[in-house]
Amino acid sequence: MAGEVRKITLIPGDGIGPEVAGAARQVIDALKLGFEWEEAIAGAGAVEKYGTPLPEETLESIKRNKVALKGPVTTPVGTGFRSVNVGIRKALDLYANVRPAKTMAGINSRYTGVDLVIFRENTECLYAGIEHMIGEDAAESIRLITRKASRRIAQRAFEFARQTGRRRVTAGHKANILKLTDGLFLEAVREVAANYPEIAYDEVIVDALSLRLVVDPTEFDVLVLPNLFGDIISDLCAGLVGGLGVAPGANLGDDAAVFEAVHGSAPQIAGQNIANPTALILSAALMLEHLGYTAEAARVHQAVTAVISEGKWVTPDLGGTATTTDFTKAVVQNL
């Protein structure tokens, strides 16, 4: 795909979103790959203009370009609007949430040698939002698990392991209690695992998995989990390697992909030029890998690592005094 002129939907987002999205765009533009950016709006700003945090025009842009880089967005609280992130994933069937967690020199962490990738099913489980009230004093939420969704997230995890030379896939679950739903999830993952005999496969109850990750995260390689457990475990893994500020993410479907930082919009520091753009820059590197620009993605990773390990141009959350602009310039120079 090298040399192809490609349009990419860019959703700057809210709060610090425009600042970190601008930084990621600057880094990608410095690679001179000829990308064209098509800006789209989502979040609190979109409510003011369109009356909804997720306008149809934004979804159409992603469908048309098939790839988007998205800054953090704010979903208004108490207004009846559902999460923009959930809305995008559901509308585009982005069923695989992929979250790498890797230790980096210069990041304050008690661990070394962590290199995990979490595959979280992204469309069902409790996040399907099937809820209702039972009278005035009780509420019920239905946990939906299907064989189709479980198989395809497992397929993504095992295929990734095969293509990248990973040694092991671990399924996290609670089938000892949730015997039907997580039982079906495990049954589907086992069916997929049988097609990858060269990759070790095991299963760990999710509470035990949490404990073992904190004790020794290097024990694990690729994790695959249902939606809610995957959300929790992927945040835990981000904490093992320095926090959400350095945690990239990808939402993948068969027809589209959206790459985004895991952290929120942090409105309290918006406009101060102190936001750390690492997570979104690394998410942009995941986007490059997805598009086939593996060498360029590696250059971005190496540049970010070099700046953080040196420590001279890091933002306050990483213990430095540099601005978002300073950090971005340093990354570009290290490309």
Alpha-carbon 42 to chain mean position: 17
Q: Does 254 participate in catalysis according to the annotation?
A: no
- The phi and psi torsions of 182 (rounded to 5 degrees) equal -75, -25
| 99: β partners | 118
Q: Does 179 participate in catalysis according to the annotation?
A: no
- Torsion-angle region of 14 (φ positive above 0: left; ψ -120 to 50: alpha; else: beta): beta
Catalytic residue among 29, 202, 207, 216: 207
Which tokens is 315 given?
């933002």
DSSP string across 135-150? TTTEEEE--B--HHHH
Catalytic residue among 66, 182, 201, 231: 231
What stretch of H or E contains 37?
Answer: strand 36-39
Distance CA 264, CA 17 (A): 9
Distance CA 292, CA 67 (A): 13
Q: 225-264 burial string, b = 16+ CB within 10 Å, else e?
A: bbbbbbbebbbbbbebbbbbbbbbbbbbbeebbbbbbbbb
Catalytic residue among 95, 127, 201, 293: 127
Catalytic residue among 102, 174, 182, 293: 174
DSSP at 154: H
Q: Does 329 participate in catalysis according to the annotation?
A: no
Alpha-carbon 335 to chain mean position: 23
Active site residues: 127, 174, 207, 231
